[in-house]
Amino acid sequence: MILLILFDSRLHTPMYIFLGNLSLVDFCYSSSVTPTVMTELLVGDNVISYNNCAAQMFFFGSFATAENYLLASMAYDRYAAVCRPLHYARTMTKSVYTWMIIGSYIISFMNASIHIVDIFTLPFCKSHVIHHFFCDVPAIMALTCFDKQFRELILLYIESLNILFALIVICISYILIFVTILKMDSAAGHRKAVSTCASHFTAVSIFYGTAIFMYLQPSSSHSMDTDKVISVFYTMVIPMLNPLVYSLRNKEVKNAFLKSMLYF
């Protein structure tokens, strides 16, 4: 997806620039976890150092949060395309979507930094065995002997703000999009508008369903075995599904792919 968008000039539009960054983020946050898991399975090396654990949590948290804000930005882009088509070029200028992307990364790295400082300044005096296949927040918090209730509340509030802000933007955008679709007279207009948003809506449903289940609940409700199963889904399956969801339902991406195959 990234290469297609880079090399096909027809895909140099805001929607595909966002999609390219979404693919990059999927690749990065999956890569922060998957190599470690493969090493554990193939070599049997299931030891991770303190610094590597912190680094893994930082990069995973950064890119997962970036996906959160990129999905919200893409929802606004779809709103502008469907609800204000005549003003779309003025609404989604290069500077606007560039700063939306840059802002997503800045907020995400700041958010991950807060998590790292908040968690890794706690004393770890319990077992050093992490009951997970990577350094995820609930699994590391379970190893601390400090009264972590206040720290958990901080993390819960931060994650709630991140997810709820993005969800509010997405929900408002889709409400306005659906209202606009209902006002359309032609069936062709209905199909085109729905097709424009269907892939994004699918990706949003998968991503936020797992994120809310994992992080917006107190630690007392966490089952590590359940968390492991859900974690496999959002660390490996979702990054693989997103490019398929967007490419299989998108005629322009399929045409660009066929063109690249003929060229090579």
Give every CB contact of residue 141 below 8 A, 6+ residues apart in sequence. 119, 122, 148, 151, 152, 155, 219
> Among 153, 135, 175, 144, which Cα is nearest to 52's?
135
Look at 73-87, 125-139, 185-199, 228-242 and tell me which has the smallest mean pLDDT.
185-199
Query: Which of 251 and 196 is assigned the larger pLDDT?
Result: 251
Give every CB contact of residue 247 below 8 A, 6+ residues apart in sequence. 1, 253, 254, 257
Query: Which of 144 and 114 is assigned the larger pLDDT?
Result: 114
The answer to whether the CB of 104 falls within 8 A of the CB of 24 is no
Q: Would you state the pLDDT for residue 222?
A: 54
Residue 221 has pLDDT above 60, yes or no: no
Residue 230 has pLDDT above 90, yes or no: no
For 2-257, CATH gives 1.20.1070.10
Q: Would you state the pLDDT for residue 215?
A: 59
Q: How confident is the model at residue 214 (pLDDT cuts 50, 70, 90)?
A: low
Q: Would you state the pLDDT for residue 29?
A: 86
163-190: per-residue pLDDT in tens? Answer: 889 989 998 988 888 888 877 776 666 6
Q: How confident is the model at residue 223 (pLDDT cuts 50, 70, 90)?
A: low
Look at 25-39, 120-134, 170-184 and tell me which has the smallest mean pLDDT.
120-134
Residue 135 has pLDDT above 80, yes or no: yes
Q: Would you state the pLDDT for residue 15?
A: 86
Q: Would you state the pLDDT for residue 134?
A: 85
Q: Tokens for 35, please give them.
A: 């190599």
The answer to whether the CB of 177 falls within 8 A of the CB of 197 is yes
Mean pLDDT within 112-131? 82
Mean pLDDT within 6-15? 84
Q: Would you state the pLDDT for residue 216?
A: 57
Look at 19-23, 56-60, 116-120, 148-152 and tell me which has the smallest mean pLDDT.
148-152
Q: Would you state the pLDDT for residue 262?
A: 66
Domain boundaries, the chain: 2-257
Residue 71 has pLDDT above 60, yes or no: yes
Query: What is d(CA 151, CA 158) in angstroms, rounded to the nearest whole number?
Result: 11
Q: How confident is the model at residue 100 (pLDDT cuts 50, 70, 90)?
A: very high
Query: What is d(CA 20, CA 264) in angstroms, rounded to the nearest whole number?
Result: 21
